[in-house]
Amino acid sequence: MAKLEPLIIANSVQIIYKEGKHRFTAVEDVSFAVKPKEKFVIIGPSGCGKSSLLKAIAGFQPISSGELLMKGKKITSPGPDRMVVFQDFEQLLPWQTVRQNIVYALNITGKAASTANEEALHYLNLVGVSAAVDKYPHQLSGGMKQRVAIARALAVKPQILLMDEPFAALDALTRTQLQYEVNAIWQNTGVTIILITHSIQEAVYLGHQVLVMRPVPGTVKEIVDTTQIDDINSKEFANMAAHLRSLLGADSRSDTKSAKEVLFQE
Ligand SMILES: Nc1ncnc2c1ncn2[C@@H]1O[C@H](COP(=O)(O)OP(=O)(O)OP(=O)(O)O)[C@@H](O)[C@H]1O
Ligand SMILES: [Mg+2]
């Protein structure tokens, strides 16, 4: 990948949750850089602070110390340059059709144009749900809902697509299809992607860089370059998956159940 200035820089980020007198350090001393058009994956046992980090990048969660920058500026609030897709299937507005959900997002982010309807159709087409434009969310399968959520995020033309385990609740076949489609979307749009997953296979397949976290508090175990590895049948892929598995498994003593869940969700 060409040498580019980072889009996101995390410099010794710390996130502390305060509840009354209690303070809980969820993320400690996390540093990384995400370049434009990169697919950056975060993996680690449950509770290691992945979602906390993603929320901080989205601008929902203030950091307690360190620096979190987008294009050199401190992230202080959410914005349409960073759209988020969550794991939850219920992120669409239930009283609006698929098309209306997207037009609505264009309206509230101030990106609506006279062509909003056509734009909505373009992005729905990109994620393969153009046949369902006039359906309501309750009429869609989980996979279709996630596709619409991705289309809605993309329609706003964010610089970064933030995805928090977007395929975790899908069946294996749909999940594999959506991983493939996310790669195609990335090729078509060049959007920078930051994706959280529990799946080692997903991390190696989708990621250019994989940030492996260890828990309590969440810190960086290693940042692994997986740019050259995308053939899932190659020896390199298997070796990389084994490397990530060993990085994650090494922490099983401190979070046995979660680490096991990570390993067996393959
Ligand atoms: N709003 C909050 N207030 C207090 N503690 C929180 C809050 N959000 C998260 N935490 C705690 O911070 C830690 C990290 O949570 P986070 O959701 O970031 O983990 P995660 O890596 O995304 O886990 P999972 O894989 O289960 O989604 C957990 O111990 C969690 O209980
Ligand atoms: Mg999470």
Q: DSSP assignment, residue 233? A: T
Chain segment 15-63, per-residue pLDDT in tens: 999 989 999 999 999 999 999 999 999 999 999 999 999 999 999 999 9
Cβ(17) – ligand 1 distance below 6 Å: yes
The reply to whether omega before 137 is within 30° of 0 (cis) is: no
Which atom belonging to ligand 1 lies closest to the Cα atom of 24?
Answer: 5
List the residue whose alpha carbon is closest to atom 30 of ligand 1. Answer: 47
Q: Which fold has domain 8-81+158-264?
A: Rossmann fold (3.40.50)
List the residue whose alpha carbon is closest to atom 1 of ligand 1. Answer: 17
CA of 51 to the centre of ligand 1 (A): 7
pTM of the model: 0.91
pLDDT of residue 266: 44
- Tell me the residues surrounding ligand 2 (ion) with CB < 5 Å: 50-51
C-alpha 222 chain-centroid distance: 18
CA of 169 to the centre of ligand 1 (A): 18
User: Residues 133-151: what's their mean pLDDT?
Assistant: 95
Cβ(82) – ligand 1 distance below 6 Å: no
C-alpha span between 242 and 227 (Å, rounded): 16
List the residue whose alpha carbon is closest to atom 5 of ligand 1. Answer: 17
Chain segment 199-227, per-residue pLDDT in tens: 999 999 999 999 999 999 999 999 999 99
CATH 3.40.50.300 domain range(s) in the chain? 8-81+158-264
Cβ(168) – ligand 1 distance below 6 Å: no
Of residues 88, 87, 89, the one with CA closest to residue 139: 89
Q: What share of the chain is helix, strand, coil (3-state, %, to 5)?
A: 40, 25, 35
C-alpha span between 160 and 37 (Å, rounded): 9
The best mutation among 15, 24, 261 to test binding of ligand 1, ranked by most ligand atoms within 8 Å of the C-beta, falls on: 24
